[in-house]
Amino acid sequence: MKQTTALTLYFENSAGQLLEHPAGFLRATWSERPRQLADTRALFTHMLRALLQRGWSRILIDQRVMLPFSSEEQTWIAQEWLPRAVQEGGYRAGAVVVSADVMTRLATAFVTTQIQNRALVYRSFETEAEATEWLLQQPASPRGE
In the chain, where the domains are located: 8-136
Which pLDDT belongs to residue 107?
Answer: 83
Cα–Cα distance for residue pair 89/85, rounded to 1 Å: 5
Is residue 97 within 8 Å of residue 63, measured between CB atoms? yes
User: Which amino acid makes up residue 59?
Assistant: I
pLDDT at position 88 is: 93
Fold (CATH) for 8-136 = Transcription Regulator spoIIAA (3.30.750)
**Bridge pairing between strands 8-13 and 58-62:** unpaired
What pLDDT was estimated at residue 1? 44
Contact 57, 139 (CB under 8 A): yes
d(CA 60, CA 31): 14
Q: In this predicted structure, what is the pLDDT of residue 145? A: 63
Spans of the chain, pLDDT less than 70: 1-4, 114, 116-118, 143-145
Report the relative pairing of strands 25-30 and 16-21 from DSSP bridges. Answer: antiparallel
Give the E-state strand segments of 31-144 in sequence order: 58-62, 93-97, 121-125
Q: What are phi and psi of 48, to 5 degrees?
A: -60, -45
What is the spatial distance between Cα 82 and Cα 22, in angstroms, rounded to a whole number? 24
